[in-house]
Amino acid sequence: MKYYLSLALSLAVISWQSAFAGTVTAAAEVSSGLSYKADAALANSNPTISGDPVLKAAVQNGDDMRSGNVVLIGSFNITDAQIQANAGNISFLTDPANFAQFGAVHIGDNYPTSPGWFSNTVTHSTAGFANKQIYMFVIAATNNSSVASAISTAFQIGIFYKAKAVTNDWSFPDDTTVRTSAFIDLSDLTVNNDGVLLDPLAHIVVGGFGPDKSNNVTTANDFTLASVPEPSSCVFLGLGAAGMLFRRRRAA
């Protein structure tokens, strides 16, 4: 009887641990926000962007991001160098084998009239995430009806984090009651969190940091995205590379 009671208690503890949920509050507010990369060629070449005058102007000028764009909160299982080498391959970067998604928030969350800003909390089981590095994976897309739609229509991305060894809040909560929540803001990546100077320990894996061509009234700088090739461009590049390889083989 004692054995079965002990087993039941053990299973209950395991079940509780596996179901334990932590929270991450993620934000870009008040000081540094998020902006599109100024890319006039992209603004004119992508029909979905060029057909939307407001979005076209924002991309052309590098203005603050419009509401609705997705910000993924999660952890990468690949190195920064591997992320950068595949910055144009969104499917690779979002593959669950390479990126574990804890949750998603959106530009405009709790700031509906302030482009480029957001603040929201996501809750998830800490199993598989506890104490791992938190990344903000920002996706600018033409269809933000779902995460999958955003991924398939992404035209710019940004990936940012501050090393958890420097700021513990940039690590996911663990599976105990000691630390059940984390609070991260893009301004953490700047000196004194004021959005003016980039902290030397900040990691801008994909994207940039520079003057705010803002729709908001602020003296701070913004974190900017990086343009990614359109799917058709990637196909043509792949066909071109294959053709060159074929010609070389024939010449040999």
* Residue that the structure tokens 């969190």 belong to: 193
* Predicted pLDDT at 110: 97
Which residues of the chain have a pLDDT value below 70? 1-19, 176-177, 214-218, 230-252
Instruction: Determine contact, residues 36/223, Cβ cutoff 8 Å.
Output: no
Nearest partner of 59 among 73, 46, 68, judged by Cα: 46
Distances (CA, A) of 8 to 4, 19, 196: 6, 16, 56
* Predicted pLDDT at 247: 44
CA distance 30 to 32: 6
User: Residue 208 is encoded by which pair of tokens?
Assistant: 């940039």
Gyration radius from the chain CA atoms: 21
Cα angle 66, 60, 34 (rounded to 5 degrees) comes to: 40
* Predicted pLDDT at 211: 81
CA distance 104 to 91: 17
* Predicted pLDDT at 31: 85
Which DSSP letter does residue 81 get? H
b/e map 121-134, b = 16+ CB within 10 Å = bbebebeebbebbb
